[in-house]
Copies of this chain bind each other. A is one copy, B any other.
Amino acid sequence: MSELRFDELRGEQVDYAIHRQDRTFLPPRDHCPLCPTPAGAVGTAAETEIPFPAFEIAVFENRFPAFEAPLGAAEVVVYTDDHDASLGTLAPARAEELMWVWRQRYQQLGARADVDYVYIFENRGVEVGVTLHHPHGQIYGYPFLPPVPTLELAADQRLGGCAPCRLMQGELEDGRRLVHQNDAVVVYVPFAARWAYEAHVVMRQHRRSLLECDARELRALAGALQALQRGYDALFARPFPYVMALHQEPTDGAARGGHLHVEFYPPLRTAEKLKYLAGSEQGAGAFISDTLPEQSAAALRDAIARAA
């Protein structure tokens, strides 16, 4: 169903998933495919993707997959059966449980020979093309090592050690861009942020993946992600769109490193204005930002404190 082609000019794989042209697009609320199936409606037209009247967290294969076995995977992770919740408003125990679900999927998908990189992510908001509002994320099991993790591994080589370890240490020493931290996790707007309110959520200790984190660290990670997301929503007093991206060790068997961290790319540069990826970003690959990371970090730090 899907087809990979190698772009010789940029040296990157492009994936064609033709059947996705017809995927469900912003259905009305009472037709949400990620809501629970009403009691007694299993087997009827009212059955959703989740054939239970209630659930905590649900994971299933994407009905419109970008990748399919035996050439990768595409899964949906529904955070809750509450249509109006979000990562930030989940009960802390549920958010912690989500970390264990991610961990289990990383392990299961990563063990597959056709999955070279397990990528857990969330698109939030119509501004980043979301087609279903029910709180959920996705997991891609790429059958190749994608460009961004490749660049991060190259950074380890260039710096002669773990790049996220070194960059986090620099942020802790500088301090101006820190927005939140706890025992196990540090959150900051990076020195060279591409997006006005970009934030990186980084494990304090060198953990290549969720598999290396203990229960205390997973709880701390959930707490930091929730604090950040509530801060984002408080920043402009509106649901804050973003792409959330987990970067971990590749699962291609070469075990070349990696340091678990979560990157957030929010497209808003003010309450109303979006950052577009246009000429410079698309055609040259060079990001232009009109916001200094120190300024947005100060605003985000205040918003996280307000929302705590």
Contacts and interface: CB of A to CB of B under 8 A. Distances in A.
A247 B159 CA distance: 30
Contacts of A39: none
Contacts of A129: 274-276, 278
Given A20-B290, A142-B286, A146-B280, 15 more contacts: A8-B159, A8-B163, A9-B167, A12-B286, A15-B280, A17-B290, A20-B288, A21-B269, A66-B280, A121-B279, A147-B285, A147-B286, A148-B285, A151-B285, A277-B277
Interface in A261-292: 263, 265, 269-270, 273-280, 282-292
A280 B159 contact: no
Given A128-B278, A279-B243, A148 B284 contact: yes
23 contacts: A6-B192, A8-B166, A10-B151, A10-B152, A11-B151, A13-B286, A14-B193, A14-B289, A16-B289, A16-B290, A19-B290, A119-B283, A119-B284, A121-B284, A123-B278, A144-B286, A146-B280, A146-B285, A146-B286, A148-B285, A243-B278, A243-B283, A247-B283
A34 interface: no
Interface residues of A, number: 78
Contact of A18 (B151, B152, B276, B290): B290
Interface string A153-183: 0110011000110110000000000000000
Contacts of A276: 123, 128-129
A282 B10 contact: no
A148 B283 contact: yes
A191 interface: yes
Nearest to A129: B276
Given A15-B289, A276-B129, A279-B138, A163 B9 contact: yes
B284 A142 contact: yes
A117 B289 contact: no
Contacts of A144: 286
A257 interface: no
Interface in A245-265: 245, 247, 263, 265
A119 B191 CA distance: 26
A51 interface: no
Nearest to A15: B288
A194 interface: yes
Contacts of A68: none
Contacts of A9: 151-152, 155, 163-164, 167, 190
